[in-house]
């Protein structure tokens, strides 16, 4: 049986969500949520090098949209199939949801189980961690957050709630830090999903302040001793102030590094039909960043970037895995 460790949650300012989190723990009535915040290590494997491959992907939870919710199980299968086929070292996920047992239950737990069952014959498996950001599966039968799957042992994790969050529609945006064991040094993974709202503090967007906090405070707090990969939905274009915060802090945009002239669009934005294979993404807002002096990016591509026919029969039933395209990147960490 795998080892379970609890994740430390740091609220950088007291908030309504601090109270909600405490109350949710006390009532704890949704069995789909009984492992939230816990590291689920099913193996103790160690990264040996030389290259480490990461995928970031926004899964589209479907809350508030009947079509997106109705297709979540089929879309989960598409994501699982991609992971099983490509076997990246780690997957950083946004909009991972937890609902009731009558609907979709814990998406990350289901995803990890499905992938691990398929890889059992190869002697491989993914460890996992899910951290709630918004909602409460205990109080309203829905929540969503960030997650990481790792082929290697997760030695520790931490959830940090940004000081600045949108207030027009109250949010709790987070950064999830996960450390995975490496033979020549551990690797830190950060997953985040910055606000899509246009709230501002003075002249600066909340999204920019979140990126600055991530780049200047949250990541450096680790001491910059391990190679770092940051993955997430930044809801920000490449030339935006939010992305410049990352670049100015020394982060390397891994996709742009390998594809300097490519659009690299990852988002369909509004009026998106998840069942229309002719849809085309129109903005790049999902990123993988490397922070590692001496680290070298070797490859980066888009994944889950086409609709798939999920009907095995003569009829065609097309479906996108999400309203986002995934980003995959490989790098040689320093020391390997």
* 8 against 32, higher pLDDT: 32
The 3-state secondary structure of the chain reads CCEEEECEEEECCCCHHHHHHHHHHHHCCCHHHCCCCEEEECCCCCECCCCEEEEEEECCCCCCCHHHHHCHHHHHHHHHHHHHHHCCCEEEEEEEEECCCCCCCEHHHHHHHHHHHHHHHHCCCCEEEEEEEEEEHHHHCEEEEEEEEECCCEEEEEEEECCCCCCCCCCCCEEEEEEECECCCCEEEEEEECCCCCCEECCEEHHHHHHHHHHHHHCHHHCCCCCEEEEEECCCCCCCHHHHHHHHCCCEEHHHHHCCCCCCCCECCCCCCCCCCCCCCCECCEEEEEECCCCEEEEEEEECCCCEECCCCCCCCEECCCCECEEEEEEECCCC
pTM for the model stands at 0.90
According to the model, what pLDDT value does residue 138 have? 75
pLDDT at residue number 245: 99
Q: Where are the domains of the chain?
A: 3-332
pLDDT class for 14, splitting at 50, 70, 90? Answer: very low
Confidence class of residue 206 from pLDDT cuts 50, 70 and 90? very high
> What confidence tens digit (pLDDT) does each residue in 66-124 have?
677 789 999 999 999 999 999 999 999 999 988 765 566 789 999 999 999 999 999 99
State residue 4's pLDDT score. Answer: 58
pLDDT surpasses 80 at 322:
yes
* Architecture in CATH of 3-332: 4-Layer Sandwich (3.60)
Band the pLDDT of 57: cuts 50, 70, 90.
very high
Q: What average pLDDT does range 313-335 have in this prediction?
A: 94
Residue 47: predicted pLDDT = 99
């Amino acid at each position: 049986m795998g080892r379970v460790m609890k994740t430390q949650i740091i609220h950088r300012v007291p908030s309504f969500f601090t109270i909600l989190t405490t109350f949710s723990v006390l009532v704890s009535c949704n069995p789909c949520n009984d492992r939230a915040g816990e590291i689920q290590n099913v193996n103790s494997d160690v990264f040996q090098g030389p290259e480490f491959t990461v995928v970031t992907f926004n899964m589209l939870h479907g809350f508030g949209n009947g079509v997106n919710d109705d297709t979540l199980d089929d879309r989960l299968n598409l994501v699982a199939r991609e992971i099983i086929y490509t076997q990246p070292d780690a997957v950083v996920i946004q909009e991972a949801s937890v609902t009731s047992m009558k609907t979709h239950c814990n998406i990350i737990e289901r995803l990890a189980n499905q992938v691990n069952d398929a890889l059992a014959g190869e002697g491989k498996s993914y460890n996992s961690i899910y951290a709630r950001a918004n909602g409460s599966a205990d109080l309203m039968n829905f929540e969503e957050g960030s997650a990481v799957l790792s082929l290697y042992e997760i030695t520790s994790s931490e959830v940090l709630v940004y000081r600045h969050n949108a207030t027009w529609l109250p949010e709790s945006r987070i950064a999830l830090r996960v450390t995975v064991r490496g033979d020549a040094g551990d690797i830190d993974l950060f997953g985040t999903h910055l606000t899509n709202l246009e709230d501002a503090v003075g002249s600066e967007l909340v999204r920019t302040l979140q990126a600055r906090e991530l780049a200047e405070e949250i990541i450096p707090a680790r001491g910059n001793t391990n190679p770092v990969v940051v993955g997430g939905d930044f809801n920000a274009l490449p030339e935006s102030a939010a992305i410049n915060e990352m670049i100015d802090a020394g982060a390397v945009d891994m996709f742009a590094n390998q594809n300097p002239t490519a659009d690299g669009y990852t988002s369909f934005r509004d009026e998106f039909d998840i069942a229309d294979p002719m849809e085309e993404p129109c903005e790049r807002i999902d990123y993988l960043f490397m922070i590692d002096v001496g680290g070298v990016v070797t490859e980066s591509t888009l994944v889950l970037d086409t609709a798939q026919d999920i009907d095995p029969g003569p009829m065609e039933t097309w479906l996108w895995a999400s309203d986002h395209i995934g980003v995959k990147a490989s790098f040689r960490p320093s020391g390997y």
